[in-house]
């Protein structure tokens, strides 16, 4: 640079890395992270930056905190995709107006949705716990652009693991894990939505099934009513048949009465004719008697008058009998007419009842047909709806199964990855294997070997951790120095610009003609000189800050190294003590197990030997019996019985 007294000289990357190797520590600031720059992927330039007000946040358990983050310049984040991660696990996703929340953060993590249109993508965490500490990363994506920032959350009173706010840089594998976590969260959210839809469809199907069962019960009731109506109709038909038969009987009876009435009428007419003839004859006889009465009074003949009187008396009796018979027949005729009229009225009444029954029967049959048609249509509609719901349910089940398979596969991959990462930092299985392998040696040799092995492993872990920290801190310091260098270069360019401006103003001042121009140019020249002086002071402060930062980092790094060594020394002592306590118990356990196995082996061997001896004894006895050639069946039975035993 032109001003070596104010601007420090920077070494190249390799020499500077060699100088600060093992002596650097990341910066520890809790204020506005001005020097951190966003990362853009997919496009060389982005239309906005992601700015976090603080890169480190401290809180107490149970507090509600806000991880502040916003876009600059102010840009609406409503159409964008906003992701929040804890480590590499996606805990909150805003995409297409939909929100997905990770496990353990339901109801505790949220965005200020009303502030999204102003570019505010801050994450609000409620009721935080010590397990919530860690590095939180915010990603904002739009199109092919992605900006990202990180914020570290600590519990108050706890010493940060990384005093620098940025922490270790994300690797390519971490980026893939983060993308995979986002995909898993989306799949889990989609699976929850599908399960919710499936529950709704299931409830709808249950409701439809309940309605179908209700309608089936109603149909059964209606069928029962219809059967009752049918039975009533059959009974009405039977009663109608009885009425028809009774009506036929009445008709025949009326016809018979009609014929009898006609016969009686004919007899009455005959009797009336005979009566009229008798009355005419009687009148003629009376006239004759009156004509003959006068001459006969004079010459009365006693016996003759007596005979005529007798004849008249007989005729009078006959006429009286005929009149009586006529009156009787007229009375019978009147009775039969009344009975006929009564039978005709009953017949008309039964005919009317028959017509009413036929009409009611037709109405019932019509209602039954209409109801059967209506119920049939409802049943068909219910069956169609049930089939449709069944098909939809099967489709949803298939989709849910596919999503569940994908999610299970992703969960398995995550579990394997977590196990792999956990196994990388866990030496307990190796320690146990080493302990089992050395059980055959003496206890003192085992303890010495294991202690040396523990110390060697601890030393390797400590050295590896120190190297990793040194490398991370080295990169962070290089970035810090590079950023300061760039800022100082800009300040130097600004200072040179003010120097040129002062030179130009000096030239103008020399050729100025009026006092007013000279006064104005003098004022501008003083401002330029003042700005030049301020630029020099800022460059000097930046140069001093680099040296001060370096000293501060070296001191903190020394303290951290001492703490790491003290921690690993305590771990070595604790592991050695655990080993001294555990080894005798392990040896006793294996000795007991070996003795138990050996005892079982002896028992099995003794049992086998006893069985072999018993199998040999029956064969010897059988050979002895065959040699004697005995036909005694009892001996054979005894021998066979013993052989079977």
Using H for helix, E for strand and C for coil, what is the string for 297-347?
A: HHCCCHHHHHHHHHHHHHHHHHHHHHHHHHHHHHHHHHHHHHHHHHHHHHH
Residue 478 and residue 13 in contact, taking contact as beta carbons nearer than 8 Å = yes
Q: What is the pLDDT of residue 309?
A: 62
pLDDT of residue 161 exceeding 60, the answer is no
Helix (H, G, I), strand (E, B) or coil at 105: coil
Residues 275-284: tens digit of each pLDDT: 888 888 888 8
- CB atoms under 10 Å from CB of 476, counted, come to 22
Average pLDDT for 587-609: 73
Say how far residue 244 (Cα) sits from the centre of its chain. 70
Q: What is the pLDDT of residue 47?
A: 66
Binned at pLDDT 50, 70 and 90, residue 440 comes out as low
**HSE (side-chain half, CA atoms, 13 Å) at 379:** 11
Helix (H, G, I), strand (E, B) or coil at 82: strand
Backbone angles phi, psi at 136, to 5 degrees: -105, 125
Q: What is the pLDDT of residue 617?
A: 58
Helix (H, G, I), strand (E, B) or coil at 24: coil
**Is this prediction's pTM over 0.75?**
no
Alpha helices per DSSP H over 40-113: none
Kindly report which listed range (39-53, 86-100, 396-410) carries the lowest average pLDDT score. 39-53
- The C-alpha atoms of residue 357 and residue 591 are separated, in whole angstroms, by 103
Beta strands 81-86; 109-111: pairing state: unpaired
Average pLDDT for 190-199: 88
pLDDT of residue 308 exceeding 80, the answer is no
Residue 181 and residue 88 in contact, taking contact as beta carbons nearer than 8 Å = yes
Start-to-end CA span in the chain (Å):
112
- The C-alpha atoms of residue 473 and residue 27 are separated, in whole angstroms, by 8
Backbone angles phi, psi at 71, to 5 degrees: -90, 145
Q: What is the mean pLDDT of the chain?
A: 75
Binned at pLDDT 50, 70 and 90, residue 558 comes out as confident
Average pLDDT for 235-247: 84
Q: What is the pLDDT of residue 312?
A: 67
Residues 331-352: tens digit of each pLDDT: 887 887 788 788 778 778 877 8
Q: What is the pLDDT of residue 116?
A: 92
Q: What is the pLDDT of residue 438?
A: 52
- CB atoms under 10 Å from CB of 621, counted, come to 13
Q: What is the pLDDT of residue 159?
A: 56
Tokens 């004697």 — which residue?
Answer: 628
Residue 525 and residue 505 in contact, taking contact as beta carbons nearer than 8 Å = yes
Binned at pLDDT 50, 70 and 90, residue 298 comes out as low
Higher-confidence position of 395 and 164? 395
Higher-confidence position of 271 and 476? 271
Q: What is the pLDDT of residue 441?
A: 52
Q: What is the pLDDT of residue 37?
A: 37
Kindly report which listed range (569-578, 593-602, 615-624) carries the lowest average pLDDT score. 615-624
Beta bridge partners of 504: none
Closest to 82 (Cα-Cα) out of 96, 68, 72:
96
Kindly report which listed range (115-129, 189-203, 277-291) carries the lowest average pLDDT score. 277-291
Binned at pLDDT 50, 70 and 90, residue 292 comes out as confident
- The C-alpha atoms of residue 27 and residue 325 are separated, in whole angstroms, by 153
Residues 603-624: tens digit of each pLDDT: 877 877 777 676 655 545 444 4
Binned at pLDDT 50, 70 and 90, residue 84 comes out as very high
Backbone angles phi, psi at 274, to 5 degrees: -60, -40
**Given CA atoms 447, 450, 454, 455 in this order, what sign does their dihedral have?**
positive
**DSSP 8-state symbol, 170:** P
Residue 101 and residue 83 in contact, taking contact as beta carbons nearer than 8 Å = no
Higher-confidence position of 141 and 243? 141
Average pLDDT for 408-427: 67
Q: Does residue 78 have a cis peptide bond before it, meaning omega lies within 30 degrees of 0?
A: no
- The C-alpha atoms of residue 497 and residue 508 are separated, in whole angstroms, by 17
pLDDT of residue 532 exceeding 70, the answer is yes
Higher-confidence position of 97 and 26? 97
Determine what percent of the chain is predicted with pLDDT higher than 70: 75
**DSSP 8-state symbol, 90:** E
Q: Which two tokens stand for residue 34?
A: 């001005």
Kindly report which listed range (170-184, 298-312, 500-514, 602-616) carries the lowest average pLDDT score. 298-312
Q: What is the pLDDT of residue 425?
A: 47
Average pLDDT for 507-514: 82
Find which of 168-177, 234-243, 406-415, 549-558 is predicted with most confidence, using mean pLDDT.
234-243
pLDDT of residue 136 exceeding 90, the answer is yes
Average pLDDT for 353-377: 79
Helix (H, G, I), strand (E, B) or coil at 44: coil
Kindly report which listed range (27-31, 466-470, 510-514, 553-557) carries the lowest average pLDDT score. 27-31
pLDDT of residue 97 exceeding 70, the answer is yes
Find which of 90-99, 154-163, 369-378, 604-613 is predicted with most confidence, using mean pLDDT.
90-99
Closest to 502 (Cα-Cα) out of 536, 530, 538:
530
Determine what percent of the chain is predicted with pLDDT higher than 90: 10
Average pLDDT for 371-392: 78
């Amino acid at each position: 640079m032109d001003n070596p007294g104010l601007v420090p000289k920077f070494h190249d990357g390799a020499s500077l890395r060699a100088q600060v190797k093992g002596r650097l520590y990341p910066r520890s600031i809790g204020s506005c992270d001005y020097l951190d720059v966003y990362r853009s992927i997919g496009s060389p330039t982005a239309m906005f930056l992601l700015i976090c007000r603080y890169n480190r946040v401290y809180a107490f358990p149970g507090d509600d905190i806000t991880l502040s983050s916003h876009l600059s310049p102010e840009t609406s984040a409503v159409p964008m995709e906003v992701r929040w991660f804890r480590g590499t696990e996606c805990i909150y996703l805003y995409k297409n107006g939909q929100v997905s929340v990770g496990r353990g953060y339901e109801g505790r993590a949220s965005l200020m949705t009303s502030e999204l249109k102003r570019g505010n993508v801050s994450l609000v965490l409620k009721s935080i716990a010590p397990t919530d500490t860690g590095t939180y990363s915010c990603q904002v994506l739009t199109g092919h652009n992605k900006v990202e920032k990180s914020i570290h959350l600590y519990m108050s009173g706890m010493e940060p693991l990384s005093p620098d706010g940025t922490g270790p840089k994300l690797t390519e594998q971490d980026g893939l894990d983060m993308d995979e976590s986002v995909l898993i969260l989306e799949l889990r959210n989609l699976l929850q939505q599908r399960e919710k839809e499936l529950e709704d469809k299931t409830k709808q199907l249950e409701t439809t099934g309940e309605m179908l069962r209700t309608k089936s019960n109603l149909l059964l009731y209606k069928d029962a009513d219809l059967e009752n109506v049918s039975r009533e109709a059959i009974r009405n038909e039977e009663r109608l048949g009885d009425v028809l038969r009774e009506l036929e009987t009445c008709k025949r009876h009326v016809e018979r009465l009609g014929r009898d009435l006609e016969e009686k009428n004919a007899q009455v007419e005959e009797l009336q004719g005979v009566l009229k003839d008798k009355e005419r004859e009687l009148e003629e006889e009376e006239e004759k008697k009156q004509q003959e009465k006068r001459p006969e009074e004079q010459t009365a003949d006693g016996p003759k008058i007596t005979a005529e009187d007798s004849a008249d008396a007989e005729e009078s009796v006959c006429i009286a009998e005929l009149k009586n018979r006529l009156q009787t027949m007229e009375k019978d005729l009147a009775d039969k007419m009344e009975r006929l009229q009564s039978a005709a009225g009953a017949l008309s009444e039964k005919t009317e009842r028959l017509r009413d029954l036929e009409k009611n029967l037709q109405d019932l049959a019509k209602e039954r047909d209409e109801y059967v048609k209506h119920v049939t249509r409802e049943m068909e509609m219910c069956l169609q709806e049930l089939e449709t719901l069944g098909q939809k349910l099967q489709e949803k089940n298939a989709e849910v199964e596919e999503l569940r398979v994908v999610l299970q596969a992703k969960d398995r991959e995550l579990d394997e990855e977590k196990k792999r990462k956990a196994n990388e930092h866990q030496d307990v299985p190796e320690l146990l294997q080493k302990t089992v392998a050395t059980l055959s040696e003496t206890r003192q040799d085992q303890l010495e070997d294991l202690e040396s092995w523990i110390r060697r492993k601890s030393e390797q872990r400590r050295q590896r951790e120190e190297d990793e920290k040194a490398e991370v801190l080295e990169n962070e310091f290089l970035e810090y120095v590079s950023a300061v260098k760039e800022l100082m270069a800009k300040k130097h360019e600004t200072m040179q610009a003010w120097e040129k401006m002062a030179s130009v103003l000096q030239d103008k001042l020399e050729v100025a003609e009026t006092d007013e121009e000279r006064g104005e140019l003098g004022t501008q020249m003083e401002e330029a000189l003042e700005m030049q002086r301020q630029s020099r002071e800022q460059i000097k402060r930046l140069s001093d800050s680099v040296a001060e930062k370096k000293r501060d980092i070296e001191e903190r790094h020394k303290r951290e190294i001492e703490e790491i060594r003290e921690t690993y020394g305590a771990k070595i002592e604790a592991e050695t003590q655990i080993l001294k306590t555990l080894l005798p118990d392990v040896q006793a356990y294996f000795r007991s197990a070996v003795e138990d196995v050996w005892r079982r082996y002896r028992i099995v061997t003794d049992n086998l030997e006893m069985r072999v001896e018993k199998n040999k004894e029956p064969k010897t006895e059988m050979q002895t019996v065959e040699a004697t050639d005995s036909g005694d069946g009892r001996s054979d039975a005894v021998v066979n019985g013993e052989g079977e035993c």
